[in-house]
Amino acid sequence: MPVSDAILTQILAQLDAMQVSQQTMQAKLDAITGNKKDTTPLEPKHDSDHGRSSSMTSDNAASSPIAVAPPKASLSSAAPTVGTPKTQIIGGTDKEREKLLYPGRVNLTTYPDQFGIEPHPMQWGAADPKTRGAIICSRLPSSIKHRNAVGAHSGSYSIYRALSIAMGSLSPTHKPDYSQTEPPVSIPPQPSWSDPSKIVSFDPYGHLVPSVYHKEIEEDGLDIRPSIAVTKAHLKMSELDESARKGEIEVDGKIVLKSRPATNADGSVSNAYSGVEVAVSKAAVEPVWYLPGVAERFGISESLLRRALFEDTGGMYPELITRPDIKVFLPPIGNLTVYIFGNPAFMSDKSKELTLRVHDECNGSDVFGSDICTCKPYLTYAIEECIRGAQKGGVGVVVYFRKEGRALGEVTKYLVYNLRKRGGDSADKYFKSTELIAGVKDMRFQALMPDVLHWLGITKIDKMVSMSDMKYDAIVKSGIPILHRYDIPDHLIPPDSRVEIDAKIAAGYFSSGKQVTEADLIKTVGRTWEEAEH
């Protein structure tokens, strides 16, 4: 039965009355508790809710059985308030601590036209960081009305922060002291930083936050945090020790240095070969997604991207749906790390030879040396190539992404291992085994990967140590030419990894030597569990 205009008008009038009543009660509560203006819940504006909230309800209800309630009918769906304890909250019961930490109601989301909402101006791709605007996702009272980003800093590690606060070991209002944390290595602005199409997956100003947004942090009291940190270190790897011992890597005293003598168990100096260590500059980068740019990179609409992110994070971030005015999302995923061998200034110098390896995480091989794949030997080989390139006057770069198991995760990867070993581990079944479990053979989707290269100022790559056609195509498509490609030498491939390599070559991966056809794949077979047991 159609609803008459009179009934709709009556419903809206009742909702208006409920809103006024709720605001009145909140004002009385504030007067009693002495709450400051900045800690009161954000309320919907009275004058412009009807049209927007009605259309939002009908649009969402038509496309999903889960409808987003409009702010008029969900007066508790305002932004949260957070207590401001000066020290950690340790004593008392859980209920008492909860009331101290979160004195307000449980508020699920915000809307663009709520009273007090004033997002910090944001112009993604602006050349000046002040014009671009700081990334603010904090829900603390000083910043909540100025948020221009959905999500939380630290990616997946934000969950550990929540646990630390709940246990009373961390105050939610702890203010970091950024003095003495500035980068010891310069990563200066590049032309690509002001091209909104070149960098969409992290904040290029992330390592400069304490300096370029000093006023906003110190004077305005906004909770703005770095999303990139740059430092220097020495690498120590047993594989590099062995290469130096064989004379395959030169100990030059600048990039490759002789390690200090080791000590014996009794504390005396050992006469054993102590190996080498490698001087590097490195940067840790947390993801910050500019949603319009990410959507464009993948050739989908922003609304579809937002809906998919909302649904497949279990509805963790309702503001992906309710705050279309917020264009930045800090996803709960792992970060990336950049390792630079040689002078970092050479990365943007076209006259210098640049060697690159883009490596996706493989904990089993990279750390524990599993022989079922080539990840560790390939990574080690690339590091040595970067060192040799730097020693010749160029620069080497290794970018390490947290995309375990082709971004399918380690659990899925191990399930695939089980299937392969039980079903006959032949190269012709390599990708099919993954698709049976995961439904797709790869979810790394390298479209966002070149962003970090543009951030570093890389405009051409002389040597790319990679067989991946997905990585090669993504980099070249982004405007960075690759002059030479290098696959892993045959003598570095573990015998049980031949299945992986042959399957990849047959699928179109780059190979400078051996060519593999689909008919050849059945001949390449890995070890069974029984053969590997001793």
Which class for 365: exposed (0-12), middle (13-18), buried (19 or more C-beta within 10 A)?
buried
Sequence-separated (6 or more) residues with CB below 8 Å from residue 197: 125, 293, 296
pLDDT value of residue 113: 85
Q: How far apart are the first and last CA of the chain?
A: 75
Q: Identify whether the C-beta of residue 179 lies closer than 8 Å to the C-beta of residue 214.
A: no
Q: Report the SS3 class of residue 235.
A: strand
pLDDT value of residue 57: 35
Q: Which of 132, 323, 420, 444 is an active site residue?
A: 444
Side-chain half-sphere exposure of 375, counting CA atoms within 13 A: 21
pLDDT value of residue 198: 96
Cα–Cα–Cα angle for 503, 369, 419, nearest 5°? 45
**What Cα–Cα distance (Å) separates residue 406 from each residue in 425, 434, 468?**
19, 10, 12
pLDDT value of residue 497: 67
**Structure tokens belonging to residue 66:** 């889960």
Is 442 among the residues known to form the active site? Answer: yes
pLDDT value of residue 534: 42
pLDDT value of residue 214: 95
pLDDT value of residue 60: 37
Q: Which of 49, 203, 442, 496 is an active site residue?
A: 442
Q: Identify whether the C-beta of residue 298 lies closer than 8 Å to the C-beta of residue 204.
A: no
pLDDT value of residue 35: 44
pTM higher than 0.85, yes or no?
no
pLDDT value of residue 276: 96
pLDDT value of residue 37: 41
pLDDT value of residue 416: 85
Sequence-separated (6 or more) residues with CB below 8 Å from residue 275: 236, 238, 240, 241, 244, 245, 258, 259
pLDDT value of residue 70: 38
Q: Report the SS3 class of residue 233.
A: strand
The stretches in the chain having pLDDT less than 70 are 1-4, 8, 12-13, 15-91, 496-497, 499, 501-508, 513-514, 516-534
Is 94 among the residues known to form the active site? Answer: no
Query: Rounded to 5 degrees, what are φ and ψ at 392?
Result: -90, 5
Distance CA 399, CA 294 (A): 20
- pLDDT tens column, 454-480: 999 999 999 999 989 999 999 999 999
Q: Identify whether the C-beta of residue 329 lies closer than 8 Å to the C-beta of residue 320.
A: yes
